[in-house]
Amino acid sequence: MMRLVMALLLAVPVWARVNYSVAGGDGGAWPRVLESMGVPRAAGEGEVVVVGAGAAGEWRSRVEAGALVILEGASEAAAGFGIVATGKRAQARSVADAGAPELDIIWEEAIEAAVFAVPERARVFAKERWSGAPLVVGWRQGAGAVLWTAVSPGRRGYERFPYLPQALRELGVAPVAESRRLWAFFDASYRSRVDLDFFARRWREAGIGALHVAAWHFWEPDAERDAYLKRLIEACHKRAIHVYAWIEFPHVSQRFWDDHPEWREKTAIGQDAHLDWRRLMNLQNPAAKQAIAAGLRGLAGRFDWDGMNLAELYFESLEGYGNAARFTPMNENARAEFTARHGFDPAELFREGGALHHARNGEGMRKLLEYRASLAHRMQVEWLDELERIRAGKPHLDLVLTHVDDRFDTRMRDLIGADAERLLPVLERREATFLIEDPATVWNLGPERYPEIARRYGPITEKPEKLAIDINIVERYQDVYPTKKQTGGELFQLVHLASGAFERVALYFESSLMGRDLPLLAASGARVVSAERGGAGAANEAAVMKTVAWAGRVEGPARERLTVKVRGSHAVRWNGAAKVDGRVWPVAGGGVVRVPSGRHTVEASAVKPPLAVVDLSAELTSASVEGEAVEFSYEAQARAWVVVDAKPARVEVDGAAFGAQAVAVGDGTWLLELPRGQHVAALYGR
């Protein structure tokens, strides 16, 4: 009987600690830490409790009953759990994390911290690197757990202990909802010999809904490379992941550069513009433009793309005209056009001792910078027009333009020719997304910059829903703390605040993400307003066992109920058949239930739908079961990939028969391709 009871319990969807509250004080930075990993504040008493130094309470009994208690430093509550100061002190600045012992974690300022004795059963998550003094410890106790830090985690919550979210997760803080709409940039040169099906599954579990693939590696036909990309696209589609061609004009490809030295861009000192990894071509040359347009059409036709991303189409460099060796465009076509308009060769502005050299910071240079910004805008419009012509033959394609932010760092217009205010009205007349990239000059600033960037774009756009933001996850050149690259709490706060400010968040790039960040990445992008448990909970497992043993079946009354309020379509963690808002729900599988934006109650269902939508690459707006049909409405920027657990006998879209052919994926599921836009689909089980 006990074996049966335990088997039934494993089938019961039990969430661990879905919300938090603060006892005593304002909680410091802990609300930021918890909310960035998808754990909202409770309306009353939370399942995670941040305990202030003077907060009174029976914390041991609370933990035994199932709460997770967070403590800081010396306090009566900490002493009650056996955490006491030894009287010793340690200089703390360098931290060793148990999950990443080789990672340099350096605090901006050293502090002298008390050394504490901790219970033997405590796991040390982080310690002072040289003395070994425990700084972050935790353990499970009864049905609950304790997390303690020797000092405050800092004003933002990640300045000292970047991996607090991972420690909380290990102790049972399980985010209730996840976003499945993150974008990520992908460069095949970092993933040349990998299991693409494995990676596609991992990307989807991390909340990635689209991959933007560096298309310059596949510009010219090549049997081996083309086969690789086709396998990648197929693996992504099977996981409901869109794949975009990431175009980096004026860079075309290595071979194009090698084959056409006569079309290379020039810098202000007359050298070929091979700058960083990009090899820039002269897009003002008519013959070059014609050849590149033909290559772009060929690239679009050879592969089953879901969209095209025209990225970073402006000029070098972030040093502006102060570095002539990187300043572009100085090709003969641009110089001739400028000379015809203004009566002097712009190259003269950079010639030492030349007649115009003294005017570098004056009227002559201002004319050049204005011409340069105007030319960048003209190029962007021309190539968007080319993409529109491609989309006319492939109406399922989504279009994206990635453009560096010039509203937060207003120098970008003069430095590289970027002018968002002029470009946005052009995009608003098209069905295209404006993906804002924060420039390297602000990578050292905190997560709060993303709501501020969104605020600054508000006055210059009529369609804020078409704005997206790109986060660079890279080794930063500035002095930054506690890690050179964004990871742990900093990464999650970046994604969380960006997701709250923009409809879409992209990450540059997929291979720079650290493996230990992936399990919480999807939750960090979630926009969870509230989450409350209803029915049987983790704190009364004895009652659950008693009820299940009495019921003798998995669909009995021991099942849990969860009420969530989310902004946008989300995946709610759930195992087994479910009802949403009292109705049998057909969009579920793989350990989640997909719900639309709004407030919803999820609970167990004794009835299964005729077939289930396991995943889809679209925003879900409603769903229902009507007899043998599963109906759902969706909105998709590109075509929608829909994964179902059985082959539909018939498919309808907007009330009419639709000729979608279900393709067996190989893991017991089937893949359907549905049209781009807003639609209502009906899938018939038989």
What would the pLDDT profile of 600-634 be if each residue is shown by its tens digit? 999 999 999 999 999 999 999 999 999 999 999 99
Residues 155 and 239 in one domain: no
pLDDT value, residue 85: 97
- Partnered with residue 468 across adjacent β-strands are 435, 504
For the residues 447-476, what does the mean pLDDT come to? Answer: 95
Determine phi and psi for 603, rounding to 5 degrees.
-150, 170
* pLDDT for position 552: 27
**CA pair distance 559, 548, nearest whole angstrom:** 9
| Placement of tokens 């202030």 in the chain | 52
Q: How far apart are CA 210 and CA 412, in angstroms?
A: 28
Residue 581 and residue 564 in one domain: yes
Q: Which amino acid is at 594?
A: R
Q: What is the CATH number of the domain that holds 109?
A: 3.40.50.880
Q: Give 473-517 pLDDT, tens digit per residue.
A: 999 989 999 999 999 999 999 999 999 999 999 999 999 999 999
Amino acid, single-letter form, for residue 549: A
In this prediction, residue 1 carries a pLDDT of 35
User: Is 468 a member of any domain?
Assistant: yes
Same domain, yes or no, for 362 and 511? yes
Of 61, 244, 50, the closest CA to residue 149 belongs to 50
Collapsing DSSP to helix, strand or coil, 657 comes out as strand
Closest CA to 518 of 492, 482, 496: 492
23 - beta bridge partners? 51
Q: Averaged over 199-209, what is the pLDDT?
A: 98
With H, G, I as helix, E, B as strand and everything else as coil, classify residue 252. coil
Q: Which among 173, 201, 233 is the end of a domain?
A: 173
* Position with higher pLDDT, 350 vs 541: 350
Contact 351, 343 (CB under 8 A): no
**pLDDT level of residue 534 (50, 70, 90 thresholds):** confident
With vertex at residue 448, the alpha carbon angle to CA 181 and CA 156, rounded to the nearest 5 degrees, is 105
User: Phi first, then psi: what are they for 517, rounded to 5°?
Assistant: -85, -20
* Residue 31 preceded by cis peptide, ω within 30: no
Residue 281 has pLDDT above 60, yes or no: yes
Greater confidence (57 vs 514) lies with 514
Structural domain contains residue 430: yes
Q: How much is the average pLDDT of 137-166?
A: 97
pLDDT at 3: 35
Q: Classify residue 19 by burial, with Cβ atoms within 10 Å: 0-12, 13-18, 19+.
A: buried
In a domain, 313, yes or no: yes
Name the residue with higher pLDDT: 445 or 262.
262
Q: Give the integer Cα–Cα distance in Å for 108 and 111.
A: 10
State whether 97 and 23 are in the same domain: yes
Asked if residue 562 lies in contact with residue 572, where contact means CB atoms within 8 angstroms, the answer is yes
**Is the pLDDT higher at 409 or at 630?**
630
| Residue matched to tokens 């009292």 | 582
Q: What is the pairing mode between strands 307-311 and 242-247?
A: parallel
Percent of the chain with pLDDT over 70: 93
Q: Which residues face 309 on adjacent strands?
A: 246, 400
The DSSP result for 82-132, as a single string, is: T-EEEEEEEEEEEEEETTEEEEEEEEEEEEEEEEEE--TT-EEEEEETTT-
Check residue 356 and give its pLDDT.
61
Position 569 confidence tier, pLDDT thresholds 50, 70, 90: very high
Same domain assignment for residues 427 and 559: no
**Mean of all residue pLDDT scores within the chain:** 92
Peptide bond into 509 cis (omega under 30): yes
Q: Is residue 6 part of a domain?
A: no
- Among candidate residues 602, 645, 637, 601, the one with its CA nearest the CA of residue 619: 637
**Per-residue pLDDT, 354:** 57
503 within domain boundaries = yes
Pairing of strands 504-508, 467-472: parallel
- Overall average pLDDT of the 128-154 stretch: 97
In a domain, 1, yes or no: no
Phi and psi dihedrals of 459, rounded to 5?
-70, -15
Angstrom distance (rounded) from CA 260 to CA 268 = 20
Tokens 């962007």, residue? 380
Residues 156 and 217 in one domain: no
DSSP 662: P
The whole-number pLDDT of residue 53 equals 86
- Domain end: 489, 524, 559, which one? 524
**28 shares its domain with 72:** yes
User: In the structure, what pLDDT confidence band is assigned to residue 316 with cuts at 50, 70 and 90?
Assistant: confident
Residue range 436-460: mean pLDDT, rounded = 92
pLDDT of res. 484: 96
Picking from 411, 414, 429, 427, the residue whose alpha carbon sits closest to that of residue 467 is: 427
* Poorest-pLDDT segment among 77-86, 543-552, 614-623: 543-552
Query: According to the model, what pLDDT value does residue 553 have?
Result: 28
| Distances 77 to 134, 150, 170, 668 between C-alpha atoms, Å | 18, 13, 22, 52
- Using the predicted structure, report yes or no on whether residue 14 has a pLDDT greater than 50: no
Q: Are residues 131 and 203 in the same domain?
A: no
| 336 and 425 both lie in a single domain | yes
76's enclosing H/E stretch is helix 76-80
Q: Would the pLDDT of 133 be above 90?
A: yes
- The rounded radius of gyration (Å) of the Cα atoms in the chain is 28
Q: What is the pLDDT of residue 361?
A: 56
What CA–CA distance (Å, rounded) separates 472 from 485?
Answer: 9
| pLDDT computed for residue 444 by the predictor | 84
Tell me which of 322 and 313 has the higher pLDDT. Answer: 313
Say yes or no: 465 and 536 in one domain.
no
Q: For residue 372, which amino acid is it?
A: R
Banded model confidence at residue 54, pLDDT cuts 50, 70, 90: confident
Average pLDDT over residues 99-117: 96
State residue 351's pLDDT score: 86
Of the pLDDT bands very low, low, confident and very high (cuts 50, 70, 90), residue 426 is very high
Bridge partners (DSSP) listed for residue 601: 563
Q: What's the domain count of the chain?
A: 3
Domain limits for position 595: 531-684
At what angle are helices 541-551 and 2-11 packed, to 10 degrees? 110
Q: Are both 50 and 74 inside the same structural domain?
A: yes
Domain termination site, one of 504, 524, 544: 524
CATH of residue 453: 3.20.20.80
CA distance 310 to 607: 47
- Among 244-253, 382-391, 475-484, the minimum mean pLDDT is found in 475-484
Q: What is the mean pLDDT of residues 530-535?
A: 84
Is there a domain that residue 649 lies in? Answer: yes
Q: What is the 3-state secondary structure (H, E, C) of 529-572?
A: EEEEEEECCHHHHHHHHHHHHHHCCCCCCCCEEEEEEECCCEEE
Q: Is 602 part of any domain?
A: yes
Residues 491, 508, single domain; the answer is yes
The DSSP code sequence of 409-471 is: STTHHHHH---HHHHHHHHHTSSEEEEEE--GGGTTS-TTHHHHHHHHHGGG-S-GGGEEEEE
**In the chain, what is the greatest distance between 2 CA atoms, to the nearest angstrom?**
96
